[in-house]
Amino acid sequence: MEDRRLYSPKMVRDILEKHNFKLSKSLGQNFLIDGNIVRSIVEKGGITEKDFILEIGPGIGTLTEELSIKAKYVVGIELDEALLPILKETLRERKNVEIIHGDILKIDLEELFHKEFKGESIKIVANLPYYITTPIIGRLLEEELNIQGIIVMIQKEVARRMIAKTNSKDYSALSIFVQYYTDPEIILNVPRSVFLPKPKVDSSVIRLNLKNQKMKVENKEIFFKVVRSAFNQRRKTIQNSLSSKELNISKEKIKEILTLCNIDPQKRAENLTAEDFAKISSLFPPI
Ligand code: SAM
Our answer on whether the CB atom of 32 is closer than 6 Å to any ligand 1 atom is: yes
Helix (H, G, I), strand (E, B) or coil at 188: strand
Counting ligand 1 atoms within 8 A of each CB, the residue from 7, 12, 33, 56 with the most, and so the one to mutate, is 56
Q: Which stretches of the chain are DSSP H helices?
A: 9-18, 35-44, 62-70, 84-90, 109-117, 130-142, 156-163, 173-181, 220-232, 238-242, 251-260, 274-282
The pLDDT of residue 129 is 87
- Decide yes or no: CATH 3.50.50.60 for domain 2-210: no
Our answer on whether the CB atom of 87 is closer than 6 Å to any ligand 1 atom is: no
Cα–Cα dist 47/52, whole Å: 9
Q: Whose CA is nearest to atom 18 of ligand 1?
A: 57
Give me ligand 1 centre to Cα 206, in Å: 17
Give me ligand 1 centre to Cα 104, in Å: 10
Cα–Cα dist 164/171, whole Å: 5
Show Cβ contacts of residue 2 under 8 Å, excluding neighbours closer than 6 positions: 93
Question: What's the maximum distance between 2 C-alpha atoms anywhere in the chain?
Answer: 72
CB 257 within 8 A of CB 285: no
Whether the complex's predicted ipTM surpasses the cut of 0.95: yes
CB 202 within 8 A of CB 156: yes
> Which residue spans of the chain are classified as CATH 3.40.50.150?
2-210
Cα–Cα dist 125/168, whole Å: 28
Cα–Cα dist 183/207, whole Å: 8
The pLDDT profile of the chain, 287 residues, written as one tens digit per residue, is 445 555 788 889 999 999 999 999 999 999 999 999 999 999 999 999 999 999 999 999 999 999 999 999 999 999 999 999 999 999 999 999 999 999 999 999 989 999 999 889 999 999 988 889 989 999 999 988 899 999 999 999 999 999 999 999 999 999 999 999 999 999 999 999 999 999 999 999 999 999 999 999 999 999 999 999 999 999 999 999 998 878 889 989 999 999 999 999 999 999 999 999 999 999 998 77
Could you name the CATH architecture of 220-282?
A: Orthogonal Bundle (1.10)
CA distances from 268 to 74, 168, 192, 241 (A): 45, 12, 35, 8
CB 53 within 8 A of CB 31: no
CA 153 distance to own-chain centroid: 8
Our answer on whether the CB atom of 64 is closer than 6 Å to any ligand 1 atom is: no
CB 106 within 8 A of CB 79: no
Helix (H, G, I), strand (E, B) or coil at 18: helix
Give binding residues for S-adenosyl-L-methionine as ranges: 30, 32, 57, 78, 103, 127
What DSSP letter does each residue of 82-112 carry, written as one string?
GGHHHHHHHTTT-TTEEEEE--TTTS-HHHH
CB 23 within 8 A of CB 16: yes
Partners of 127 in the β-ladder: 153
> Which residue spans of the chain are classified as CATH 1.10.8.100?
220-282
Show Cβ contacts of residue 70 under 8 Å, excluding neighbours closer than 6 positions: 42, 47, 48, 49, 51
Partners of 154 in the β-ladder: 204
Show Cβ contacts of residue 10 under 8 Å, excluding neighbours closer than 6 positions: none
- Report the residue count for the chain: 287
The pLDDT of residue 2 is 43
Q: Whose CA is nearest to atom 10 of ligand 1?
A: 128
The pTM assigned to this predicted structure is 0.93
Our answer on whether the CB atom of 84 is closer than 6 Å to any ligand 1 atom is: no
Cα–Cα dist 127/79, whole Å: 13
